[in-house]
Amino acid sequence: MRLIINKSKDVYFNLALEDVLLHGNNEDILMLWQSHSAVVCGKHQNLCGEANYGYCKKNNIDLARRLSGGGTVYHDEGNVNFTFIQSLKPHEELNINFRKFLDPMMDVLTDLGVHAEYSGRNDLLLNGFKISGNAEHLDQKNRRVLHHGTLLFDSKLTTLGEALHSRGQYESKAVKSVRSAVCNIKPYTEIEDVSSFIDALASGFTTKHGYLPLELTSEEVASAQKLQNSKYDTNAWVLGYSPAYRVEKEVILYNKSVNITMTVHKGIITEAAGIDDKTDNLGMALAGLIGKTLNMEAEKAFFQTLNIPFTEEHHYCLF
């Protein structure tokens, strides 16, 4: 069994690397890794309905989509991610089994003084507060399973709350996250910093569960970089893969609030409507959105039609 301590903090590369390690070999793997600040939604979620898109963009928080389903999570350098990838034995059923992977994680955490327990939603709790969100993906063809989760060691919890608080009213068939009160692990252990926490996790899995530390190969890195560029770091995947949704947004026009409703499918605005008798050219501006990709260029054209300067306060107001 192979232990990888992945030093990259690029969330798009790291998600691509998970994909490569799942589909590219038959090894049983545990990878420990971190990301710079990021919001990562599940494969079948509406990213804009889960995250405060504007807040994230303005605060350099990456927005990403992973291979697995489940709810949206927040990463930063105070959080540690763990990824188990295993091939199923001939007698094992091909189904989701969170405890298979969380039991050994809880075992190692207990040795570190962290007495976690299960929630009813496949999360890990500490004193009733969530410290770990988890998700799984099955590669049915090759009978391999990917399980990954977060461990909030010393994360910025205020930023987490802001980043995961979407703006607007969203309607869609997308899977919705269930929010939970969270806490950090650090106050409950004698470990002082996140680097030491990673080392302690690695040591626990090496000594207790037989994992062997091994470096990434140059071929794995190259494959992950290629997949990052073609999929994980593209708007077609991050935004465009969201199920079709309808959103009602409150937008400030000429110092007053106007409600605008849009329907978005595969990142393209298919409908746009709003009523405000006192705003000239609103109908024309909304009509100009239809058929456009939901991005800042579409926003800029919208405000230009209204003869309103496109200032920073308007950035991402339609997302």
Task: Indicate the pTM of the whole model.
Answer: 0.93
The CA distance from 44 to 41, in Å, is: 8
Provide the pLDDT for residue 46: 95
Q: What three-state secondary structure class fits 107?
A: helix
The CA distance from 304 to 102, in Å, is: 52
Domain 2-238 has CATH 3.30.930.10: yes
Write out pLDDT tens, residues 258-288.
999 999 999 999 999 987 766 668 999 999 9
Q: What is the DSSP string of 201-261?
A: HHHHHHHHH--EE-PPPHHHHHHHHHHIIIIITSHHHHTTTSPPEEEEEEEEETTEEEEEE
Q: Where in the chain is the domain with CATH 3.30.930.10?
A: 2-238
Please name which of 37, 62, 57, 41 lies closest in space to residue 314, comparing C-alpha atoms: 57
Task: Note the maximum CA span of the chain.
Answer: 70
Q: Where in the chain is the domain with CATH 3.30.390.50?
A: 245-314
Tens place of pLDDT for every residue, the chain, 319 residues?
Answer: 999 999 999 999 999 999 999 998 899 999 999 999 999 999 999 999 999 999 999 999 999 999 999 999 999 999 999 999 999 887 777 667 888 999 999 999 999 999 999 987 789 999 999 999 999 999 988 899 999 999 999 999 999 999 999 988 999 887 788 778 999 999 999 999 999 999 999 999 999 999 999 999 999 999 999 999 999 999 999 999 999 999 999 998 888 889 999 999 999 999 999 877 666 689 999 999 999 999 999 999 999 999 999 999 899 999 9
Number of Cβ within a 10 Å radius of residue 169: 13
Q: What three-state secondary structure class fits 78?
A: coil
Residues β-bridged to residue 268: 265, 293
Domain covering 245-314 in this structure, CATH number:
3.30.390.50
Provide the pLDDT for residue 277: 62
| Helix ranges (DSSP H) in the chain | 11-24, 47-50, 53-58, 98-111, 157-163, 194-209, 218-227, 235-238, 282-287, 296-305
Provide the pLDDT for residue 210: 93
The CA distance from 2 to 213, in Å, is: 6
Instruction: Give the list of residues 6+ apart from residue 284 with CB closer than 8 angstroms, or none.
Output: 305
Write out pLDDT tens, residues 73-97.
999 999 999 999 999 887 777 667 8
Q: What is the DSSP string of 113-170?
A: T---EE-TTS-EEETTEEEE-EEEEEETTTTEEEEEEEEESS--HHHHHHHT---SEE
The CA distance from 57 to 66, in Å, is: 18
- What separation, in Å, do the N-terminal and C-terminal C-alpha atoms of the chain show? 43
Percent of the chain with pLDDT over 70: 98
